[in-house]
Chain A
Amino acid sequence: MTTLAVELTGQVGALSLALGLEARGGAGPVVIVGPNGSGKTSALMSIVGALKPHSGHVVLGEQPLFDAGRGIDVPVEARGIGFLPQRYALFPHLDVLGNVAFGVAEAERPAREQRARSVLQDLGVEGLARRRVDGLSGGEAQRVALARALAAAPRALLLDEPLASLDAAVRREVRAFLAAQLRTLAIPTVIVTHDRADAEAFAGHVLVLERGRVVQQGSLAGLAAAPATPFTRQFAVQDAGDRRTDSAD
């Protein structure tokens, strides 16, 4: 099974980042949590190659994608890492099929569309193929964005708040769906979330990020048993205060 190993330190924007994580395919995702501005999105950006920390490395399987010491910096498009941004960022000038076919590495258009259709089918949304993306519901857009990422056959997957822009009712359903998909996919996955229910459903290794640094990590139950910071307590301990995780926010 492939492993995504990340060790990054340095200034990215206004934030001093010190991130270490290891996501293994088939072993459940790494779930990054943390307060606003703690560097969760910057962490994903650094792994995908859009931000350049000063030192450290990103290794996917046997291939170094970034190594400051050895001067290795594989460009974003050659990293083979899929990325789902928070608001999905579907291409508004293409229909659903066009979006999903965009990243398929086939020279001929029919081959690209055939692959795109089969991915849409796998995710149970083949009926959307010819729809415009601005008419999709939140749940549909989420599946199309996932299909678009998977159609490019990524070797690792990064998801930034994959459920945050959904209504509470839809969120529960999509969460279960997404968790099942990720289990089947079994590639290294990193998920950023602010929602305890996500961390629980994805059953991953939770990494608490505060001010750019990893302050604690472990299973959700482990964190709840011995929270190291007030944020961890509030996040991991289910009945710690007023944070109802599945409420609309």
Chain B
Amino acid sequence: MTPPGPRSPSSSLARSLWPAAVGLLAAALLLLIGLPLAALFLTTSPRALLQGLADPMVVPAIRLSLVTTTASLALVVLTGTPLAWLLARRRGRGWRFVETLVQLPVVLPPAVAGVALLLAFGRRGLLGPLLAGVGVGVPFTRAAVVLAQTFVAAPFYVQAAVSMFKRLDPDMLLVARTLGASRPRVFFRVVLPLSRAGLAGGAAMSWARALGEFGATLMFAGNLTGRTQTLPLAIYTALESDLRTAQSLSLILLAVAFGLLITIQFGSRR
């Protein structure tokens, strides 16, 4: 709090410096974010880009990323929607704890996620003997890629879905039932249509996170070309041989991410 009374010269100096300080600090961060993004474009040419894409690991990586992120998105929506519905409808401390637990992967270091997944589904993990018994080895397979993506990406969808579901008027859901609609019918005819935009936004964020998944995938699924080498892993590998390939793939991911962000913001403004 500034003491009342005549203003001192030092406070008038602070006032005149204030806009400059705010502007400078803000510009510094803008530069830090903007410069690397600009560098991705400025340091290449269309020809170099196309040459970068000629690398034999590019096509398998793109295909694998599309297949695995589609699978993990389907898994996230199929299991995340019911979970979000329960979390939104149930009261009680237990459910609030579950809600926090589900958000944990957002702040968890990816390396920790990788170790955790190995300890759960790895050969010597909790479920290892059980999975080996039915002849299934998860680590270093496409299934491992999908599991890692689902683990890190699900919270983005679940969080969006919970907040959409919580906003629905409970009276409206009750009225729907008094009009003869069973619980499933209420869900598909009232809940889903009213939550569609929010669910789509959550799914887009979740998909973007899965597409970018790197750390947990590297540790749990490895980096095998055509098998578990997704786009981010291909970028990492290309850095050691051909920077142009890494740059080309990076630009693809940047374009996709930017496109998604614009779509989400446009969608939420409608």
Contact = CB atoms under 8 A, between A and B. Distances in A.
A149 B194 CA distance: 21
Contact of B178 (A76, A86, A87): A76
A83 B176 contact: no
A82 interface: yes
A79 B171 contact: no
Contacts of A81: 178
- Measured as residues with beta carbon below 8 angstroms from the partner, the interface class of chain A is 20 to 34
Contacts of B193: 93
Contacts of B182: 75, 77
A148 B181 CA distance: 13
Nearest to B194: A93
Interface string B227-241: 000000000000000
Contacts of A61: none
A76 B183 CA distance: 10
A152 B179 contact: yes
A194 B171 CA distance: 19
* Secondary structure of the A contact surface, majority rule: loop
A76 B172 CA distance: 13
A105 B180 contact: yes
Given A89-B169, A89-B171, A77 B190 contact: no
A148 B171 contact: no
Interface of B: 169, 171-172, 174-183, 189-190, 193-194
A48 interface: yes
Given A91-B190, A92-B194, A103 B180 contact: yes
A190 to B, nearest CB: 13
Nearest to A157: B178
Given A79-B178, A102-B179, A152-B178, 14 more contacts: A75-B182, A76-B174, A77-B178, A77-B180, A77-B181, A83-B178, A85-B172, A89-B171, A91-B190, A93-B193, A103-B179, A149-B175, A149-B178, A152-B179
A91 B171 CA distance: 11
A201 interface: no
Contacts of A103: 178-181
11 contacts: A77-B178, A82-B179, A83-B175, A83-B178, A85-B174, A85-B175, A89-B169, A91-B194, A103-B180, A103-B181, A149-B178
Nearest to A80: B180
B164 to A, nearest CB: 13
A117 B83 CA distance: 39
Contacts of B171: 85-87, 89
Contacts of B174: 45, 48, 50, 76, 83, 85, 89
Nearest to B173: A89
Interface of A: 45, 48, 50, 75-79, 81-87, 89-93, 102-103, 105, 148-149, 152, 154
A154 B179 CA distance: 8
A13 to B, nearest CB: 11
Contacts of B172: 85, 89-91
A105 B181 CA distance: 10
A156 to B, nearest CB: 10
Contacts of B179: 77, 82, 102-103, 148-149, 152
A89 B173 CA distance: 9
Contact of A48 (B169, B176, B178, B189): B178
Nearest to B189: A102
A86 B174 CA distance: 12
A107 to B, nearest CB: 13
Contacts of A82: 178-179
Nearest to A76: B177
A102 B172 CA distance: 12
A136 B171 CA distance: 19
A65 to B, nearest CB: 12
Contacts of B178: 48, 76-77, 79, 81-83, 103, 149, 152, 154
Contacts of A102: 176, 179, 181, 189
A81 B189 CA distance: 20
Closest 5 CB pairs of A and B: A103-B179, A85-B171, A89-B172, A76-B177, A89-B171
